């Protein structure tokens, strides 16, 4: 049975990725930092193929403890990521560092520790970037945009370093549908007006792309945009 580790596995997107890989027949390690209850409830609904795993990407010891549970690993999905909005005048360095520490350095910490297992399995990595890396300037998101730009550069550099043993790709999702984005939400209206397909991105659609990248052995160092045509609109 193939094995996948999904960081931030209980987030809006994380849940969809975990669900997709359970459906694909994987043993899914659903990593959580603070959302233990959500992870246990996901495990109840998806069954024994989903194993909740505490894992804080800011804490080397927590990563090591989580990795000790893994006997093998075919796929790492670096999905943990945080977002905040501050114009530069109001953005303090500690917030900049927090976002980078989770979105970028956290990705590096986790990747480094699971790399021996991935090399052994000739496995693959899918990093979660964002269209903000490719089209920055949504307003007040300089730090997040820069962090996702770093995710894109890291993906390409790591792919070159690990080839041909381990493939590394990224997906760059647009705005993902979530319960808070009801149909009157200004952000949703703005997004749907510009997106060629006139709707938000469903988390399941991003999970499909992650699954595709995990299987497509001709692809490495690529960034797949899943944005319902927003950037082209």
Ligand X SMILES: NC(=O)c1ccc[n+]([C@@H]2O[C@H](COP(=O)([O-])OP(=O)(O)OC[C@H]3O[C@@H](n4cnc5c(N)ncnc54)[C@H](OP(=O)(O)O)[C@@H]3O)[C@@H](O)[C@H]2O)c1
Residues that bind ligand X (CB under 6 A): 7-8, 10-14, 32-35, 56-58, 79-83, 102, 106, 128, 130, 173, 175-176
Nearer to ligand X, 150 or 175 (CB): 175
Taking the complex as a whole, the smallest distance from the CB of residue 175 to ligand X amounts, in Å, to 5
Taking the complex as a whole, the smallest distance from the CB of residue 127 to ligand X amounts, in Å, to 9
Strands laid side by side in the 27-32 sheet: 50-54, 27-32, 3-6, 75-78, 124-128, 167-173, 223-226
Which strand (E) or helix (H) includes residue 142?
Answer: helix 142-162
Nearer to ligand X, 82 or 165 (CB): 82
CA distance 178 to 202: 8
CA distance 37 to 43: 10
Active-site pick, 26, 144, 191, 230: 144
DSSP state of 201: B
Nearer to ligand X, 35 or 155 (CB): 35
The conformational region for residue 23 under phi > 0 = left, psi -120 to 50 = alpha, else beta, is alpha
CA dihedral angle for residue 101, residue 188, residue 200, residue 218, rounded to 10 degrees: -30
CA distance 83 to 100: 10
Taking the complex as a whole, the smallest distance from the CB of residue 93 to ligand X amounts, in Å, to 18
| Residue of this chain nearest to ligand X (CB atom) | 81
Taking the complex as a whole, the smallest distance from the CB of residue 129 to ligand X amounts, in Å, to 7
Question: Is 191 known to be catalytic?
Answer: no
**Residue numbers annotated as active site:** 144
């Amino acid at each position: 049975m193939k094995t996948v580790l999904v960081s931030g596995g209980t987030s809006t997107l994380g849940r969809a990725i975990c669900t997709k890989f359970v459906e694909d027949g994987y043993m899914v390690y659903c990593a959580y930092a603070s959302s233990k209850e959500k992870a246990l409830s996901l495990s109840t609904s998806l069954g024994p193929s989903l194993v909740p795993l505490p894992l804080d990407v800011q804490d080397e010891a927590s990563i090591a403890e989580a990795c000790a549970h893994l006997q093998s690993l075919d796929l790492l999905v670096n999905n943990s990521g945080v977002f905040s909005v501050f114009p530069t005048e109001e953005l303090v360095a500690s917030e900049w560092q927090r976002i980078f520490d989770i979105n970028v350095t956290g990705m590096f910490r986790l990747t480094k520790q699971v790399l021996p297992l991935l090399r052994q399995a000739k496995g693959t990595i899918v990093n979660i970037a964002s269209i903000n890396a490719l089209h920055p300037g949504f307003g007040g998101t300089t730090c997040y945009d820069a962090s996702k730009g770093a995710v894109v550069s890291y993906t390409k550099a790591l792919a070159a370093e690990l080839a041909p043993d381990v493939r590394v790709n990224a997906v760059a999702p647009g705005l993902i549908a979530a319960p808070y984005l009801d149909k009157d939400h200004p952000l949703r209206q703005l997004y749907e007006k510009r997106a060629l397909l006139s709707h938000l991105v469903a988390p399941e659609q991003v999970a499909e792309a992650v699954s595709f990248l995990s299987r497509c052995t001709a692809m490495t160092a690529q960034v797949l945009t899943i944005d319902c045509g927003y950037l082209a609109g």
